[in-house]
Chain A
Amino acid sequence: MRRLQAATVLCLLLASPAASRTVDESVTLEPGEPVRIDIAFGELKIVGTDQARLRAHGEIDEGLSGLRLARDGGALEVRTKLPFRSWLRRLRHDEPRAAVQLTIELPRHTPLFVVTREGLVDVQELSGRLGVVTVAADVEIRGALESVAVESVSGDIELRGGAERWSAHSLSGDVRLWGDGGGLALETVDGAIEVRGANLKGRLRTVSGTVLFEGDVANDGLLEIDTEAGPIEVRADTRAQRIDLLTDRGRVVDRRPDVEAPLPDQRSLLAGDGGGTLRVRTFSASIIMQGPASEGPPSQR
């Protein structure tokens, strides 16, 4: 829904040739030179390449006077240039809602930091460290990265691929991860958390959002899921890991096909003896234990 709203705003801003202008700027980067992208509104597609330069091209709102690529504080900074009359508004964090639709290409291993307010951040093919801070933009990251840290207020976060460390915090946005290995630190207040993958460890924590975990814990690793009031669904193979579920005020529902129905007031479940441990705790919510995904489509479980 939020993405639809952002797309509508972008279409309105960029559909008419009179409302936008084309930009194409580039600069050569030193190996390993960090980049900071600070653009408040719009759609940013960021792509890793084998080139040694950063190139930013696309459309910007006519209310902006151009793009600024300049070195500042040990990093190359990409910003939109505001007309002189709007500088005071930027200082007051009240800049005009002038959107962009940009593709930014840069060397794959560039350490990158993105700050934005609304719209969409789509990152592909990067392999270094990545940090994104946003208020309401949706964030999509695909690739095999060294580490990823995303912080949002209400934007959704979608992570696909591998990283040594995934960190994503959102207040009300949803966090979804399809991961192959890595340490997780995913946290929301009332946004949902969904994790699908193998060889995972770390922690998923929410206050009242729902949690779905489907996959396997790393061998000898520990994956903890903790909620206050958010219901939890686990789809995991007990032959591949040790499962330890406990709810204080809710109940555990065991829906594995080869297990008899548990007592209605069951509050804990211990199963499996594999190398990794999945430990699930909740104060007042229920926990549903399912078999692994291969046992049938999710809609029937």
Chain B
Amino acid sequence: MSDRPDETELPHDLQAALQHASERGSEPGRDLWPAIEVQLRPRAARRPFAIAASILLALLLGLSWRLVQSSTGAVPSDELAAVASSDTELFEALTRHRAESERLLRLVDQALASHPQQVGSEVRNSLDAMQAALAKLEQALVEEPGAPQLASRLAGLYEQHLRVLEGLDGRLQGRGSLPRSDP
């Protein structure tokens, strides 16, 4: 028993068991150390790996997000909202866009399910082109926040994006009406 650690390092329940055994004046019926060692060693050995893995994962996630942002040119949303808050027209357009675009995109995706793949890929290419134009304008506005023409142009493009998505859903489902007689 000389290779056993000091008993104060043992878990409370094991200390109690040893105390109980010594009070009874007898050694345990079997060698308890292998079971104790199994319980002690993995905890001490696993923790550094877990911490290192968590840090690595966090770094990888952060790096991936940065890469995605740099590849799409997307501006962080809080930065954009801060710039937009100084222009009422843009702020309203941005708010509407954030509230509606995801829902409309889901409707378009659902409507595309009943159309040939070629139509789907053409639609997605066009929507990507629009998204790229939005990202470019957002980036320009963040770099030059005081430019009123940029703010107005971006607000117009948000509105156009929503209009396109709404119209697209209708066209894919065969909805529409005659033009009004008064131009």
Residues of A at under 8 Å CB distance from B? 34, 38, 92-94, 111-113, 115, 117, 129-131, 133-136, 146-149, 151-154, 164-165, 167, 169, 171-172, 183, 187, 189-190, 205, 207-208, 228-229, 248-249, 283-284
Say yes or no: is B157 at the interface (Cβ < 8 Å to chain A): yes
Contact string, B95-120, partner A, CB cutoff 8 A, digits 1/0? 00000000000000000001110110
Partner of A207, one of B122, B133, B171: B133
B residues less than 8 Å from A92 (CB atoms) = 114
Q: Which B158-176 residues sit within 8 Å CB-CB of chain A? A: 160, 164, 167-168, 170-176
Which residues of the other chain, B, contact A134 by a CB distance below 8 angstroms? 171
Considering only CB atoms and an 8 Å cut-off, how many residues of chain B contact the other chain? 38
Given contacts A154-B123, A207-B160, 9 further A-B contacts (CB under 8 A): A34-B178, A131-B178, A135-B119, A153-B123, A169-B167, A171-B164, A187-B160, A189-B129, A283-B136
Closest 9 CB pairs of A and B: A165-B183, A133-B176, A149-B179, A228-B133, A93-B114, A189-B126, A131-B178, A154-B122, A172-B126
Given contacts A130-B179, A183-B183, contact A135 B125 (CB under 8 A): no
Task: Evaluate contact between B125 and A151: CB separation under 8 angstroms.
Answer: no
Contact A153 B183 (CB under 8 A): no
Instruction: Collect the chain B residues with CB atoms within 8 Å of residue A154's CB.
Output: 119, 122-123
Whether the Cβ atoms of B136 and A229 lie closer than 8 Å is yes
Contact A153 B168 (CB under 8 A): yes
Given contacts A111-B178, A153-B171, contact A208 B122 (CB under 8 A): no
Question: Is the Cβ of B179 less than 8 Å from the Cβ of A172?
Answer: no
Given A93-B173, A283-B136, A283-B137, A147-B125 contact (CB < 8 Å): no
Chain B residues with Cβ below 8 Å from A148 are 179
Q: Which of B127-171 contact A (CB under 8 A)?
A: 127, 129-130, 132-133, 136-137, 140, 149-150, 153, 157, 160, 164, 167-168, 170-171
Can you show 10 pairs from A to B with CB atoms below 8 A apart?
A: A136-B118, A153-B171, A171-B123, A171-B126, A171-B168, A207-B129, A228-B136, A228-B137, A229-B132, A283-B136
Q: Does B26 contact A (CB under 8 A)?
A: no
Contact partners of B167 in chain A: CB under 8 A? 151, 169
Residue of A nearest to B137 (CB): A283
Among A135, A205, A248, A249, point to the contact of B171 (Cβ < 8 A).
Answer: A135
B177 at interface by CB-CB < 8 Å: yes
Contact A131 B153 (CB under 8 A): no
Shortest beta-carbon distance from A122 to chain B in Å: 19
Cross-interface CB contact of B183 among A112, A136, A164, A169, cutoff 8 Å: A164
Contacting residues, chain B, for A130 (C-beta < 8 A): 178-179
Report if A172-B174 is in contact (Cβ < 8 Å); known contacts: A92-B114, A151-B167, A283-B153.
no
Inter-chain contacts of B179 with A (CB < 8 A): 129-131, 147-149, 165, 167
Q: Whole-angstrom distance between the alpha carbons of A146 and B182 in the complex?
A: 9
A190 interface neighbour in B126, B168, B170, B174, Cβ under 8 Å: B126
